Amino acid sequence: MLRFSFALVTVALFAGCSGSPDTADAAAMDAAAVEAKVDTAVEAPEEAPASEDSAAPAEATQPSADGWVSYGGALSDKEAMAASAVISAPDQFVGKNIKVAGEISAVCKSMGCWLTFQHEGQELTVNMADHAFSVDKESAGYLCEAEGEVVRQGELVSLTATAVRMKKGEEKAAPEEEKAAPAEEAASEPTKG
Domain with residue 125: its CATH number is 2.40.50.200
**Torsion sign (Cα): 135, 137, 143, 146:** positive
Residue 10 has pLDDT above 70, yes or no: no
Which domain does 148 fall in, by range? Answer: 69-167
Asked whether residue 154 carries a pLDDT value surpassing 80, the answer given is yes
* Residue 162 and residue 79 share a domain: yes
Largest CA distance in the chain: 118
DSSP state of 178: H
Number of domains in the chain: 2
Would you say residue 140 lies in a domain? yes
Q: What percent of the chain is modeled with pLDDT above 70?
A: 56
The answer to whether residues 103 and 151 belong to one domain is yes
Q: Which helix (H) or strand (E) holds 122?
A: strand 122-128
Query: Can you give the pLDDT at residue 190?
Result: 55
d(CA 75, CA 18): 67
Residue-level pLDDT at 91? 94
Buried b (16+ CB within 10 A) or exposed e, 55-84: eeebebeeeeeeebbbbbbebeeeebeebb
Position 68 pLDDT exceeds 70: yes
Q: How far apart are CA 41 and CA 46, in angstroms?
A: 10
Pair (91, 134) in one structural domain: yes
Are 90 and 30 within one domain? no
Residue 60 lies in a domain: no
Does residue 48 sit within a domain? no
Q: Poorest-confidence range of 19-33, 91-105, 172-186?
A: 19-33
Q: What are phi and psi of 141, to 5 degrees?
A: 95, -10
Closest CA to 101 of 86, 91, 90: 86
Residues 138 and 90 in one domain: yes
**Structure confidence at residue 24 (pLDDT):** 41
Per-residue pLDDT, 41: 43
Which pLDDT score is estimated for 134? 95
